Amino acid sequence: MLTVSKNWKKYLDYREFIMSQKEKGLFFLCCLALLLPYAIGILADAIFFPLLAGIVLGSLISYRQKKSLQWLPYLLLVLLPSSLMLTGVDLWARKSLQSVLYYRPHEMFIHRFPRYAKLSRYKPLVEYKGNAIGDMAAMSGNPIYHQKREIVFLTDKHGFRNSPSPEKKFTVIALGDSYTMGSGTTQDKIWPERLKSEHKIATYNLALPGSPWHQFLDLSIEIDRIPLDFSPTLVWTIFGGNDLDDRYGPLELKEIPWNNTWKSAFVSYSSFRKRSPIAQICDRLFSSSSSASQKVIISDFTEQEKILFYLPYIERAERTFPQCQEHPDYLSLIKTIQAAKKLTQKHGIDLLIVNVPYKSEVYSHLLPQRKFSPGFAQALQEITQKEKISFLDLTPIFQKKAQEAYKKDKNCLWWRDDTHWNEKGHEVALEAIVESLALGKE
């Protein structure tokens, strides 16, 4: 064994590996041709490094066997045009094929926050108009469930979903996840925008998909730059479908391992690589969507229309109050709410916590085999009562309005192909929040 090892060491001894200038040039051009598609994300590590190792080992073996490296020009003739073509097509497709690659603006423009990669931001100053479908329609993989709609998606210079406005000071900060961000709904129909346009209440939308911990960190980072009017309010929507199960972490900004300039640049570069259209298309071609489609539950909404539910949210809507209290992240949720209370008090901001209802619970009659529980709403209510925080549970309001909308014109408060509210759902939330804000001020 020792003899074999020594032989291989001698066989691959780099000191005896001397190329001609022409061979060196061809070798490095081949490596560069391979590096280009890797650099922009077309080639994954699992493909790039074996291919690179193949070129290096092939060159070593050919030289040590006293063979010419005449195969390098032929390899370069294949690699270089292919590399340049793929790189050019990939860069072109990033802009031109957005509507094909992504089913809604959220996926088009979200990226990791360079200073701390566990947070996210949207691309600043986005002005997008196009078509979208729901998240569950995309998961189902079946176009017959698509409920296509036109969406306008705008962001401010800080990467949050806010339309240009003349407000110099804000009365309301809207905090939450994709419900308050308005996933799947056009800009002027989401409740923070309507609060601003219809009720003349200057509102800043700070919502991004993520857990209450992510949202609290975003608030902590951004609050000092948001100019506030007299007696402002933070309206914080919390959803039991994922906010008890998402990631939590340190609540003090000084405990966060912030990235330096180089690490921030690397995070931005990694986000760029992950957006390779060619890599995404290959992933979709060679990966199975059956696991995602199995999480979509389909029911009849009307005789002609189907409504889709997300299985994990259905299961979480069945959690009882004691089961919520026993959840491993329940204490983290409490500590996050306590930290938000402390932060808002420091800045003279009133805090209103809003419970977002489950789609499956509001339309429970379409899932008669399930036993739903108001456990998460009860848990939130207990937390807010103990902390003396204003609380609004949207569940009974949505249950009543959903029945009225269906009886009137067979309308739904959610997009039928989505886990998120449609325009009518945002309208119901808006009315309830406005009433709660008015009562709070009184």
Cα separation, 207 vs 426, whole angstroms: 14
Looking at residue 421, what DSSP letter applies?
B
Each as own residue / partner, the long-range contacts of residues 406-410 (CB below 8 Å, 24 or more positions apart, any chain) are: 410/301, 410/302, 410/305
Q: What would the mean pLDDT of 188-198 be, rounded to a whole number?
A: 96
Instruction: Give the least confident one: 54-68, 252-266, 275-289.
Output: 54-68
Q: What would the mean pLDDT of 213-230 be, rounded to a whole number?
A: 95
Cα separation, 205 vs 194, whole angstroms: 11
Domains present along the chain, CATH in parentheses:
21-96 (no CATH), 99-441 (3.40.50.1110)
Instruction: Give the least confident one: 167-171, 318-322, 330-334, 371-375.
Output: 167-171
**110-112 and 120-122 beta bridge pairing:** antiparallel
Q: What would the mean pLDDT of 46-51 be, rounded to a whole number?
A: 85
Give the number of other CB atoms < 10 A from CB of residue 158. Answer: 16
Cα separation, 376 vs 241, whole angstroms: 9
The pLDDT assigned to 20 comes to 63
Instruction: Find tokens 């309001």 and name the residue.
Output: 397
Report residue 216 CA to chain centroid gap.
16
The two tokens of residue 286 are: 């060679």
Q: What is the pLDDT of residues 101-144, one digit of tens each?
A: 888 999 999 999 999 999 999 999 999 999 999 999 998 888 89
Residue 123: HSE in the Cβ half-sphere, 13 Å Cα cutoff = 14
Instruction: Find tokens 């809207």 and name the residue.
Output: 174
75 neighbors 23 (Cβ within 8 angstroms)? no
The pLDDT assigned to 67 comes to 57
**350-356 and 390-393 beta bridge pairing:** parallel
Instruction: Give the confidence band of 11 by pLDDT, cuts at 50, 70, 90.
Output: very low
Q: What is the pLDDT of residues 348-405, one digit of tens each?
A: 999 999 999 999 999 999 999 899 999 999 999 999 999 999 999 999 999 999 999 9
Dihedral over Cα of 50, 54, 57, 61: its sign? positive
Looking at residue 357, what DSSP letter applies?
P
Backbone phi and psi for residue 211, each to the nearest 5 degrees, phi listed first: -85, 170
What is the distance between the terminal CA atoms of the chain, rounded to a whole angstrom?
Answer: 86
Q: What would the mean pLDDT of 219-239 be, rounded to a whole number?
A: 95
Dihedral over Cα of 75, 81, 84, 85: its sign? negative
Cα separation, 117 vs 108, whole angstroms: 18
Cα separation, 280 vs 47, whole angstroms: 15
Q: How many helices (H) and strands (E) does the chain have?
A: 20, 11
108 neighbors 98 (Cβ within 8 angstroms)? yes
What's the whole-model pTM score? 0.87
Instruction: Give the confidence band of 50 by pLDDT, cuts at 50, 70, 90.
Output: confident
- Strands of 330-389, DSSP E: 350-356
172 neighbors 235 (Cβ within 8 angstroms)? yes
Percent share of the chain, pLDDT over 90? 69
Give the number of other CB atoms < 10 A from CB of residue 94. Answer: 18
Calculate the alpha carbon distances from 121 to 217, 222, 234, 245, 296 in Å. Answer: 12, 12, 20, 21, 28
Instruction: Find tokens 């306590």 and name the residue.
Output: 338
The pLDDT assigned to 237 comes to 97
The pLDDT assigned to 354 comes to 97
Looking at residue 306, what DSSP letter applies?
E
